[in-house]
Amino acid sequence: MNAKMQWLRNKMLSLDLQGLIISNPINVKYLTNIDAEGVLLLTRKENIYITDGRYIEHVHSILTLYDEIIVYDINDVSKDDYENFFMFCENVGFEENYVTYAEYKELIRKYKVNNLVETEHIIEKQRMIKDRDELKNIQKACEITDNCFSYILEYIKPGMTEKQIADEIEEYYKPRTDGLAFDTIVASGENTSKPHAVPTNRKIGEKDIITIDMGCKVNGYCSDMTRTFFVGEVPEEVKPVYDLVLKNEKQTLEQMKDGASTRMLTKMVENDFRFSNYDLIHSLGHGVGLEIHEAPYIGLKSDTQLKENMVVTDEPGIYLPGKFGVRIEDTVQITKFGCINLTKSEKNYIVI
């Protein structure tokens, strides 16, 4: 059994869980490397993956004996099998944040479990701390993102559309990575005031402001970076906003280390923005891994202590509707006494 499965089994012991039903395919991939549709059951003694005819061949090609996972075709699992999987298990965990209400009722009916227990993100929490291989993949994804950004700065010329630029980023990533980590944001002019702008046919002007939010995947692991930059010159009205965002991005980086409180980090940025009459209208950051947004959430709504080998973003932004917006974002690896900035592209005024 691999180290991640072993860790999870130890965690189950400490939580008095004798069984676990893992339905979230990202969690299944994290634990087993299986990339299919199915459910992973950790029973008292066995690890069982139930999938259907379409995936059996594929799953067998991924697993080795060392994985100690028994694969079932869902059509061969009888009513009795389901009831036997968790026999003599007092508490069986399920993923209440992934399983729908309808599926929950179905789990109870099918497995006849006495006590189906909410596991409160047990695996998502485990996923927050990255191991060496995971870090390597994210570092690589960030490196390629930096290179792509350098390339795209050379590529952009006035007259091109936002869509054209977004397509070129995708083309750059395609042969080098598993593809986009999320739909690239290329926003220009007043479109930069929309934090989640979708690339349009707006043409880049001779003098313009551009925000690009981009990332790719390497072996399933994501990178995430945003830069706001300028064509021709930096408009005077943008400078104070840019400076304020950059200052806060850098200050947050300085404070990101093992033990830091995510709520406090956010509060400090929010306070500094408020002082200049601006609002922080989205969270300050988020974890990055197999998913582009994963735990920990860095905002005001909840609090987490950053830990060594978490990978998170630092992305303050200010948006003036109908005018312009500025966001600067890095992907960052937390260390014992600080952090390593994995996206290393220039952050001072970039003028092309």
Which residues of this protein are in contact with its own copies, per CB under 8 A?
52-55, 57-58, 94, 96-104, 118, 167, 174, 193-196, 279, 281-282, 321
Structure tokens at 139: 């570092």
At its nearest, how many Å lie between its own copies and the CB of residue 139?
24
If phi > 0 it is left, if psi is from -120 to 50 it is alpha, else beta; for residue 88 that is left
Cα 267 to Cα 85, 112, 257, 278, 298: the distances in Å are 47, 46, 16, 13, 10
| Edge-to-edge strands, sheet with 185-188 | 185-188, 208-214, 225-231
At its nearest, how many Å lie between its own copies and the CB of residue 236?
24
At its nearest, how many Å lie between its own copies and the CB of residue 118?
7
**248 φ, ψ (degrees, to nearest 5):** -70, -35
Assess contact for 217 and 141: CB atoms under 8 A.
yes
C-beta closer to its own copies: residue 194 or 307: 194
Assess contact for 188 and 202: CB atoms under 8 A.
yes
C-beta closer to its own copies: residue 45 or 196: 196
Cα–Cα distance, 173 to 242 (Å, whole number): 28
At its nearest, how many Å lie between its own copies and the CB of residue 127?
18
Assess contact for 22 and 95: CB atoms under 8 A.
yes
At its nearest, how many Å lie between its own copies and the CB of residue 340?
29
At its nearest, how many Å lie between its own copies and the CB of residue 110?
14
At its nearest, how many Å lie between its own copies and the CB of residue 103?
8
C-beta closer to its own copies: residue 9 or 163: 163
C-beta closer to its own copies: residue 148 or 334: 148
C-beta closer to its own copies: residue 96 or 303: 96
C-beta closer to its own copies: residue 2 or 200: 200
- CA dihedral angle for residue 305, residue 311, residue 317, residue 322, rounded to 10 degrees: -130
C-beta closer to its own copies: residue 166 or 334: 166
Instruction: Look at the chain and count its residues.
Output: 352
Cα–Cα distance, 25 to 31 (Å, whole number): 10
Specify the residue for token string 């008292």: 44
